[in-house]
Chain A
Amino acid sequence: MSSSITISGVNRVYTDVDGNKVNALNEVSLDIHPGEFISIIGPSGCGKTTLLRLIAGLDKPQSGELSIDGSRITDVDPERGYVFQQGGLFPWLTVEDNIAYGLKARKVFKQKKSEIGKYISMVGLDGFEKSYPHQISGGMAQRVAIARALINEPKALLLDEPLGALDSFTRSDLQDKLLELWKDNGTTMILVTHDIDEAIYLSDRIVIMTPRPGKISRIIDVDLPRPRQRGSGSFLSMRRDILELFELAQAQPQPEYVI
């Protein structure tokens, strides 16, 4: 129940509001293995969200190709779940109906109605079935968004900074929840984040991207044993290595300041 995703030579250029061309992705190639947990990190403007949107099929590249299990990605597909930065829940639907949305959209609601309760308890929202999104907290809303994506049993789950807006306690709580869901479902996970700790804690590999033009600068294998300890020496040394990479990447355009 997981997919491999191949990205080869992808380019994406935007025209911003002032009419300037922005090179969001430049010759990006990446192979994502089935069942892998991969994180994409980088400063804002490095094209990480653009890359995720291309994988989802919400956007199209100008050149290059993206494929999933050998077939080309041309449009969105419920097989690739997507969790938006701000949840993107429908405010007019209850928690329960938001989670059931995918079943109705795919016209399998009648057969799979019994699954809804399972996904609600999976993300720990029992008792909030009839609440509307504005009545629950931000962390709960993100859990609804994750359950809503999972109910479609996607082969790949794309997460666009899903925990970025949450406080650190809720965040680490949900990170464990994500790992648990990943372990149980074996779905390929692609996480966009700007939090280095989160990337190290969760992923098998970390893709580091740099802006202007957006491209992949390094791919790091995280070979720490799971479950990982946030305070362990190897964790911290990896964190230091990645931070150093970033400082180098940012210093590059201004070589005169490097001593």
Chain B
Amino acid sequence: MDAAVKGHETDVILNKQQTDSKPSAAWGYKHNGYYLLKILFTLAGFIIAIVTNITFPQKAAVEIKDYIINAAGLSVKLTMNDAYIFVLAALIVIYLISGIRAWGDKDRRKKYCKNAAFRFALGIALAVWDIGGTKLQFFAQPFFPGPAQVIETYLADGSYVVQNTLYSLRLYAAGFSCGVLLGVGTGILIGWYPKVYYWVFPVLKITGVVPAVAWMPFALTLLPNSFSAAVFLIVICAWFQIAFLTAQGIQSTPKQSYEAARVLGSRQFGLIFHVAIPHAMPDIFTGISSANAMAFTTLVMSEMLGQPGGLGYYINQSKVWSAYYKVLAAIVVMAVLFSCINHIIGLIQKRTLRWQEGVLKK
């Protein structure tokens, strides 16, 4: 089947217009009927998950509470199952819309078809999890609560989760932005001035391998409050990594680039800011993305060890009460939040390094 699709692709390249104008393409993602089936297939998993939740009898002893949600002047009464179904319905709507939006776009259509099987499996997995975690509870409890119970956390504890998420975000933003600025700054100095390289680089090389949380005892005693202590830890974990790679990028700038800039009239300032730094940008971004992953680790660990708030703190606190559904809820928030941050960094990187497009092998 794969081979058939590939063969078909080469045909398309040869007679692109001809194939495009044909209303009924061969059985594949370009065929409208096939694509419609793939959309239904994608949605089917989540529909099965909803049906399972509604029709499957609640055998295990799980208390179903009513929650009153006040939003936009409306007050809605709902249970955790309602909220779960609402989330599933939202997923169905999202995938339906993205499927329809990809209708006229060949590449997006192909991608959608490729993802269909995984999304179907996701729906089935949710249904199985629902049965095993909530309905029958044959998973070990209280460690593996069902999806509805995880969502219940947001109903019962919503504002507290939001508050802790904002705390984490604030900590991350303060620490990581300082880390990036200091890292890039130090990296440029090390890369540009041999004297700075001589004195600072060995220090960076030795201290850079120590995980930032190892400095926690010093940070907690020497800094005025725990927030600044955690910021400090995130700063140093980002700082060393980024400085290291920035320096490398600056030092690898070809001599001819400097000469070309000099004969055009650039002085030292121009050589640093218009030649060395643009040349080092790919390395700087490599440093930023790897430092980012380490910053998440440092963030959560320092929250677990000594912060009055944050998602790490929330996990720790929930663990004490064996509220594993809350732990899972916090992990879900982290997964979404950190993916978003990664995505934003990726977008900035793509925009800044667009001159590299087509140069590097993907």
**Residue B211 at the chain A interface, CB threshold 8 Å:** no
Whether B358 and A134, one on each chain, are in contact in the complex, defined by CB atoms closer than 8 angstroms, is yes
Q: Is the CB of A104 within 8 A of B274?
A: yes
Beta-carbon contact of B256 and A86 below 8 Å: yes
Please name all residues of chain A whose beta carbon is closer than 8 Å to the beta carbon of B355 when the two chains form the complex.
Answer: 91-94, 132
- How far, in Å, is A115 (CB) from chain B's closest CB? 14
Q: Which of B259, B267, B275, B359 contacts A90 (CB 8 A)?
A: B275
Q: A90-B278, A134-B359 are in contact. Are A78 and B261 (CB under 8 A)?
A: no
By a CB distance below 8 angstroms, the chain B residues around A105 are 261, 264-267, 270, 274
The residues in A between 92 and 144 inclusive whose CB is less than 8 angstroms from any CB of B are 92-94, 101-102, 104-106, 132, 134-135
Residues of B within 8 A of A201 (CB): none
Q: Which residues of B are found within 8 Å of A76, using beta-carbon distances?
A: 262-263
**Chain B 238-281 interface mask (CB, 8 Å, partner A; 1/0):** 00000000000000000011011111111100100011001101
Nearest chain A residue, comparing its CB with the CB of B269: A105
Assess the A106–B256 pair: CB atoms within 8 A.
no
Bound together, the chains give a CA A56 to CA B261 distance in angstroms of 13
Residue A80 at the chain B interface, CB threshold 8 Å? yes
Number of inter-chain CB pairs below 8 Å: 63
Count residues of chain A with CB under 8 A from any CB of chain B.
27
Q: Are A135 and B358 in contact (CB under 8 A)?
A: yes
Is there contact, CB below 8 Å, between B261 and A84?
no
A89 to B355, CA, bound (A): 13
B309 to chain A: closest CB distance in Å? 42
Contact A78 B358 (CB under 8 A): no
Contact status B264-A148, CB under 8 Å: yes
- Chain B positions within 8 Å of A37 at CB level: none
Find chain B residues with CB under 8 A from A81 CB. 263
- Give Cα A255 to B99, complex, Å: 83
A88 pairs with B256, CB closer than 8 A: yes
Q: In the complex, which of the residues B263, B274, B278, B359 contacts A56, with contact meaning CB atoms closer than 8 Å?
A: B263
The 0/1 profile, CB within 8 Å of A marked 1, for residues 332-362 of chain B is 0000000000000000000000011011000
Q: Are A102 and B260 also in contact (CB < 8 A) when A90-B278, A92-B355 are? A: no
Is A152 a contact of B358 with CB atoms below 8 Å? no
- In chain B, positions 277-314 with a C-beta closer than 8 Å to chain A are 278-279, 281
Q: Which of B263, B266, B274, B278 contacts A82 (CB 8 A)?
A: B263
Contact A92 B264 (CB under 8 A): no
Chain B residues near A30 (CB-CB < 8 A):
none
Docked-complex contact B279 and A58, CB < 8 angstroms: no
Question: Nearest-CB distance from A36 to chain B (Å)?
Answer: 20
Distance to closest chain A CB from B339 (angstroms): 29
Residue of B nearest to A133 (CB): B355
Q: Which residues of B contact A92 (CB under 8 A)?
A: 278-279, 281, 355
- Nearest-Cβ distance from residue B273 to partner chain A, whole angstroms: 11
C-alpha gap A82/B265 in the complex (Å): 11
A78 lies within 8 A of B274 (CB): no
Residues of A within 8 A of B264 (CB): 78, 101-102, 105-106, 148-149, 152
Q: CA–CA, A80 to B267, complex, Å?
A: 15
- Who on chain B is nearest to A79 by CB? B265
Chain B residues in 8 Å Cβ range of A93: 278, 355
Distance of A90 Cα from B262 Cα, bound (Å): 13
Q: What are the residues of chain B within 8 A of A152 when measuring CB–CB?
A: 264-265
Closest to B353 in A: A92
Instruction: With both chains docked as a complex, state the minimum distance between the C-beta of A257 and any C-beta of chain B, in angstroms.
Output: 39
Do the beta carbons of B274 and A58 come within 8 Å of each other? no
Q: Which residue of B lies closest to A107 (CB)?
A: B265
Q: Is the CB of A88 within 8 A of B260?
A: yes
Which residues from B are CB-within-8-Å of A106? 264-265
Q: Enumerate chain A interface residues (CB-CB to B < 8 A).
A: 56, 58, 76, 78, 80-82, 84, 86, 88-94, 101-102, 104-106, 132, 134-135, 148-149, 152
Besides A78-B263, A92-B279, 19 other A-B contacts (C-beta < 8 A) = A56-B263, A76-B262, A78-B264, A81-B263, A82-B259, A84-B260, A86-B256, A90-B275, A92-B355, A93-B278, A101-B264, A102-B264, A102-B265, A104-B270, A104-B274, A105-B264, A134-B358, A134-B359, A135-B358
10 residue pairs from A and B, CB less than 8 Å apart: A82-B260, A84-B259, A88-B257, A90-B261, A92-B281, A104-B274, A105-B265, A105-B270, A106-B264, A135-B358
Sorted nearest first, the 6 A-B pairs with minimum C-beta distance are A78-B265, A105-B265, A88-B260, A102-B264, A82-B263, A106-B265
